[in-house]
Amino acid sequence: MSLDVIAPPPCSTRQAEANVAPTQLPVLPLAPLTLPHLPATRAEMNARGWDAVDVVFVTGDAYVDHPAFAMGILGRVLEAAGFRVAILSQPDWRSADPWRQFGPPRLFFAISAGNMDSMINHYTANKKVRNDDAYSPGGRIGLRPDRATMPYCQRAREAFPGVPVIAGGVEASLRRLAHYDYWSDTVKRSILLDSKADLVVFGMGEQPIVEIARRLAAGQTVRDLRDMRGVAYALGAREEPPQDALVLPSFDEVKTDKRKFAIATRTIHQETNPLNARRLIQYHDRQAVVANPPALPISQEDMDRVYGLPFTRRPHPMYKGESIPAYEAVKDSVTIMRGCFGGCTFCSITTHQGRIIQSRSQESVLNELRALGRDPEFKGVVSDIGGPTANMYQMRCTRPEVEAKCKRLSCVHPKMCKLLGTDHGPLVQLMRESREVPGMHKVLVASGVRMDLAQQSPEYLRELAAHHVGGHLKVAPEHTDPEVLKRMKKPEINDYQSFDRAFQAASRRAGKKQYTVPYFIASHPGSDLDAMIDLALFLKRNGYRPDQVQDFIPAPFDIATCMYYTGLDPMTGEEVYTAKNLRDRKLQRSLLQFFKPENYFEVREALLKAGRADLIGSGCDALIPSNPPKAALHARMEKANRALSEGRYVHTVPTSGSAQTPKAPQPSGYRPKRKTARRRPRSS
C-alpha cells in the first residue's frame, strides 16, 4: 500500500465518493548536492516560474532539508506527490505580512511549532529562559514565540481568511485535548480552540498531509476531512457530535477535579493503539473537540519511499553558513526506524510516533549510507544509526491477532511480553553491512540502547562493543529507587548493572576500554529527597560523575505529567509524591552532581532536611565535606554578585500567552522597586 492511498477508517465513505486518483510516490535516489531547496522566499518561488503554491509550510525551526527535520521530510513528501510547497521558516509573528509573501496557498497552510514543543524549547525545568535555541541559526533565542502554534495559526487566518489552516507537529499533537501546562501551572483547553486551526494532525505527518492535499485538490472541503485517521477537530456549538465517540471528562471537569483529569489521561492513553483505538470527544463548554483514532503505522515500503526522497541534507543557503546546533548533531546520522514500545511515562515518543515499530528495509538504509559516502563533505563517520531507541529495529509482536486487541502501554514493563519479537539478527546484519559501505570509516550508535532488550542478544552486544561505540555508550537507567522506576515504567537498577558488566566484558574481548554513560532524572513523580540521596550514593559508590543531568519537565499529555499535576498515578489511582516547589526541585538536581563545589550548599541543605547529616564529613559514603571548599564559597559569592548587578532576585517568566520575546529584568535598588541603594532612615 503506497503512502498516498492509505485506506481511511471503516466509517469513512467520503474519499471513495470523491474518486481521488491515487499517485504512487516514486522511489528516488538521494539527491545530488546541486538539488535546490524548496522555495523559502518569494524570489525563489518566482525563480521556479510558479505564480502560486499549493501549500505554505510554516515552521518555528530553521529550514533544514534533512529527514530529521519535519519541514524537510514533509515538504519533500508533498513535492513527490506533485504539489508545490513553500517553506516559511521562523517568520516574525508580530505581523501577518510574512504569511502573505507567497500569496494565498491554493490548498492550505501547514503549521508546526517545530521539532519540539516551543515551551520546552524556550524554558528550562526551573522555568528559566534558555540561553540558546538548538533549532535556530547561531543558536539564537527569540526567533519563535511561546506556544508558537497559536500565533502562527492566527496569523495565517489573518493573512488569508478562508484558506484552510492545518496544525501539526509535536506541540499541536500533545495539546489536542485539554492538558496541563507546566509553565502557567494551569489546565488549558484544546489548542484547536485557541489557535482557530481547522484541524490538528497528531502523530507522524506523512500519511495525513498527503491525504489532506489530495482531497482538498479534488474539491473537498476541510470539513470533509473530519473522517480521517490521526486528526482532531472542533465541532460548532450547534453541530451534532459523532455517536460512536467515547466521551472524556469535560474541560470544566478536568480543570476543577484532579481525579477527573487522571481519568481522562488514563482513557486517552488506553486509546492510542491505532489497531483498536476508539474516537474520543471532550466537551469545552458548548463546543466539543473530537479526536479520531490515530493513523495506522506506516509500512516498510512507504518508509523506504520517504527516506529515499531527494534531500540535500543541508540547511537553506539563506543562513550563509551560520551553524544550526540541532543540524550539526544529526547531519551525518541515519534513521533506521521509528516508534517505541517502551512506554516510559515521562516520554512523548510513544505518544507521537506510536508503540508499533516501523522500520526501513536494509537496502533503503544502505542506499542512504552509500549516498552519504559519496558526499565530498562527509568525514567518514556516521554519528548515529538508530532511531528513538537504538535496538528496536524490525521488532514487533509475533501474534498480529493479539496485537490488534492489545491495550498494554509498554511491551517491556512490568515484565517483557512473551509475544514480543526481540530478535536482534536483522539489526546485527545491518550493522555489519553498514561498515562495508564505501566511505564509511566508523558507523556509531548514539541513540539510547534499551538495556533489557540488548541483554537478550549477546551477539548484538559483541557487535556493538567491537565496532559501533566510540568509547562511551549512552544508556538511561533514569533512577535507582524501585518506586520511582515503577512510576517511570523502567526496569530496576540491577538491569543497568548487569548490562554494564556485560558491555564492559564485550569491550575487553574486543581489546577496547569503553564505558557506559548513564542518564538519570531528578524530581520525577515519586522521587523524594531520600530517593535522590540513594541515587547520589549509588553514583559515588560506582564512581559516576555525570556531566549532564536531566530535570523532569512535565510535557503536555504525558502520564508522568498527570502524576505531577494531580498527585495521582492515573493507571492505578495511587497517590504519588511530587516535588513541585522550585527549591525542592533544585535540591534534587544538586544531589545528582553532589561533587560540584557550586552545589555544596544545596547538597548540604538537602542532606540536613532529610536527616542525613551522616553523609556530611569524611566518611567513605560522605557526599560532601564538613566545611565548604573555597570553590563553593567563591561560586556562591559570584552568584550573589551576578544577581545584584543584574537587579535579579527572583527569575521571572513572561506572562502566559505572551507573544513577545522575554525581556531582561530591569535593574532595581537595594530592594526591589527601590530607586536607590541607600537605606531609608527608620522612623523615630
Is residue 475 situated within a structural domain? no
Characterize 81-113 residue by residue with b for buried, 16 or more Cβ atoms within 10 angstroms of its Cβ, and e for exposed: bebbbbbbbbbebeebebbbbbbbbbbbbbbbb
pLDDT of residue 681: 54
pLDDT of residue 648: 56
Pick the last residue of a domain from 431, 460, 489.
Answer: 460
**Distance in angstroms (rounded) separating the CA atoms of residues 589 and 583:** 10
Is residue 617 situated within a structural domain? no
**Distance in angstroms (rounded) separating the CA atoms of residues 140 and 661:** 12
Using DSSP's 3-state secondary structure scheme, residue 59 falls into strand
Residues 6+ apart with CB under 8 A from 181: 119, 187, 188, 556, 656
Using DSSP's 3-state secondary structure scheme, residue 518 falls into strand
448 plus 339 within the same structural domain:
yes
67 plus 191 within the same structural domain:
yes
**Distance in angstroms (rounded) separating the CA atoms of residues 273 and 203:** 12
Characterize 45-76 residue by residue with b for buried, 16 or more Cβ atoms within 10 angstroms of its Cβ, and e for exposed: beeeeeeebbbbbbbbbbbbbbbbbbbbbbbb
Run of H or E including 13: none
**Distance in angstroms (rounded) separating the CA atoms of residues 81 and 214:** 9
pLDDT of residue 4: 40
Using DSSP's 3-state secondary structure scheme, residue 382 falls into strand
Q: 426 with 462: CB under 8 angstroms? A: no
Q: 39 with 86: CB under 8 angstroms? A: yes
| CA 527 to centroid of chain Cα atoms | 23
Report phi then psi at 651, rounded to 5.
-70, 135
pLDDT of residue 661: 44
Pick the last residue of a domain from 460, 492, 526.
Answer: 460
pLDDT of residue 649: 52
160 plus 15 within the same structural domain:
yes
What the block records as the C-alpha cell of 52 is 502560486
Is residue 615 situated within a structural domain? no
Pick the last residue of a domain from 460, 489, 519.
Answer: 460
pLDDT tens-digit readout, 528-540:
999 999 999 999 9
Give me the amino acid identity at 76.
R
**Distance in angstroms (rounded) separating the CA atoms of residues 451 and 500:** 9
Short-list 291, 166, 190, CA closest to 241: 291
Q: Does residue 208 have a cis peptide bond before it, meaning omega lies within 30 degrees of 0?
A: no
pLDDT of residue 680: 52
**Distance in angstroms (rounded) separating the CA atoms of residues 291 and 231:** 6
- What secondary structure letter does DSSP report for 315? E
**Distance in angstroms (rounded) separating the CA atoms of residues 589 and 223:** 48
230 plus 336 within the same structural domain:
no
Strand bridging mode 358-359 / 337-338: antiparallel
Using DSSP's 3-state secondary structure scheme, residue 7 falls into coil
Can you list the positions of beta strands (E) in 523-673? 550-551
Residues 6+ apart with CB under 8 A from 379: 332
Q: Which domain holds residue 454?
A: 332-460
> HSE on the CB side for 513, CA within 13 Å?
0
pLDDT of residue 647: 63
Is residue 277 situated within a structural domain? no
Short-list 158, 167, 163, 121, CA closest to 142: 121
Is residue 645 situated within a structural domain? no
CATH number at residue 94: 3.40.50.280
Short-list 17, 169, 145, CA closest to 92: 145
pLDDT of residue 669: 36
- Per the structure, the count of domains in the chain is 2
Instruction: Please give the model's pTM, rounded to 2 decimal places.
Output: 0.88
Is residue 161 situated within a structural domain? yes
Is residue 442 situated within a structural domain? yes
Is residue 514 situated within a structural domain? no
Strand bridging mode 55-59 / 64-65: unpaired
Q: 52 with 106: CB under 8 angstroms? A: yes
Using DSSP's 3-state secondary structure scheme, residue 122 falls into helix
- Residue where the block lists cell 502524576: 563
CATH number at residue 422: 3.30.750.210
Q: In the chain, which stretches have pLDDT less than 70? A: 1-35, 646-684
**Distance in angstroms (rounded) separating the CA atoms of residues 495 and 477:** 8
